[in-house]
Copies of this chain bind each other. A is one copy, B any other.
Amino acid sequence: PLCLCWVLGPAAAAAPNILLLFMDDMGWGDLGVFGEPSKETPNLDQMAAEGMLFLDFYTANPLCSPSRAALLTGRLPVRNGFYTTNGHARNAYTPQDIVGGIPDSELLLPELLKKAGYINKIIGKWHLGHRPQFHPLKHGFDEWFGSPNCHFGPYDNTERPNIPVYRDWEMIGRYYEDFKIDLKTGEANLTQLYLQEALDFISKQQASQQPFFLYWAIDATHAPVYASKQFLGTSQRGLYGDAVREIDDSIGKILKHLQQLGISENTFVFFTSDNGAALISAPKQGGSNGPFLCGKQTTFEGGMREPAIAWWPGHIPAGGVSHQLGSVIDLFTTSLSLAGLQPPSDRQIDGIDLLPVILQGKLIDRPIFYYRGNELMAVRAGLYKAHYWTWSNSWEEHSKGIDFCPGQNVSGVTTHTQEEHTYLPLLFHLGRDPGEKYPLSFASEEYQRAVGTISALLQQHKDTLVPGQPQLNVCDRAVMNWSPPGCEKLGKCLKAPESDPQKCSWPH
């Protein structure tokens, strides 16, 4: 049953807590409820059974940093600056030598939620820049436990420092030093730490009576994949599956905690992932995109369609399934709506409010834009997807064994040169052909009709687009995490080399 107070409008209802469970490199096909053959995610499957499953939910970019920037700003990366112009259609992110990050001019979800009295916490990976001005607590978060970058390593602290782990304003240690990740066994207890942080924060907030926004951005399924000892070897799927099982178990515990505290009916929970499974790391370190084409880094369905579940007992009818075209950018607008806030009116917001979809089962007509770096590669409207550009990766990279589409090869589609189709887009019907294997005939009436519609949407989008200042162009070893705040107390400050700004190299 719908919450009666809801009928009175969001403002009249107490603003619910908002919990975003944001996965790293987890693919559409990684959950039992999405057809993973080992079916090892009972808690997520149960969450879907009690909530609403989204089958056509997307990220805004097939790579981590831009996807996260999009979620927190409600804007496409090409607007919020999370892209590069160093090369055409190149994915870019925030390695520790990146100079850029989230611009101050961007309004982040937690900044806005503060106006409605929310206490905001990020647990896990920030990935919107690690230099001081980009710190999450300068962008609306009140608390942080986690890391600014990926948990790559270990590094020698000379050529490259190990990545710091922060608690709030200051670092409290570094990966591989104070926060162990055993690359050989895959053992690390980080998911347990992130779980405990979440449980503690929820308990504390429940006691304080202030609404919370918790952004649980964990990373056990991103290479190097890891799991705690008690989960190692428990999955049929190997180490990657162990990580998924631990996450599934943790999410079960978080949802149970909400129920035990009696606040599940006042907490909106959304589960999704930042991009498709990293098939380059499969099978040991990469997941599954189910029946979809290719993976992370690409604008095929495998790169951008995400598992997604909304859960809010007493508000979302159990067992719902939605074919709404949704996107991570919608989580921004939807969260504001939950808080009774309007999205900013001084800028273009790309996300839509999904509450009518989630609470009333409506379907909202809207396109999905598939960007890769500075290029709009494809557009989906309804069941049709038109590719204006196709590319997996270069022959040069491919010849080194880097393959974003292992075992898959669709002639003229998974191309290794950047192929322009702007005058005659490749068109797929994703209902009949979710795997993007059978382009529609250019001569068909269906093609003409669908491409007409989509190209008009594309034109409208391009005509009004004002790209943001690209943030991911310049790299400099001097900006690495040599001496993060708090390093003095720990005796972990390192000497930075001299500044030597360079164009970042983005091969894909």
List residues of chain A with CB under 8 Å of any chain B CB: 29, 32-39, 53, 55-56, 235-238, 240-241, 282-284, 288, 290-291, 293, 321, 323, 383, 406-410, 429-435, 437-438
Contact = CB atoms under 8 A, between A and B. Distances in A.
Given A35-B291, A37-B56, A407-B437, 20 more contacts: A29-B291, A35-B35, A37-B290, A37-B430, A37-B434, A38-B55, A38-B323, A39-B53, A39-B321, A235-B431, A236-B383, A236-B431, A236-B432, A238-B432, A241-B432, A283-B437, A293-B407, A407-B409, A407-B410, A407-B435
Contact of A237 (B37, B323, B431): B431
A37 B290 CA distance: 9
A36 B39 contact: no
Q: For the complex formed by this chain, how many copies does it contain in all?
A: 2
A139 to B, nearest CB: 35
Contacts of A283: 429, 432-433, 437-438
A409 B406 contact: no
B55 A282 contact: no
A38 B434 CA distance: 9
Contacts of A36: 35, 291
A406 B241 CA distance: 28
Contacts of A434: 37-38, 288
18 contacts: A29-B35, A33-B35, A34-B35, A35-B35, A35-B36, A37-B430, A37-B434, A38-B55, A38-B431, A38-B434, A39-B53, A236-B323, A236-B432, A241-B432, A282-B433, A288-B291, A407-B410, A408-B409
B37 A291 contact: yes
Contacts of A34: 35
Contacts of A383: 236
B407 A284 contact: no
A313 B51 CA distance: 25
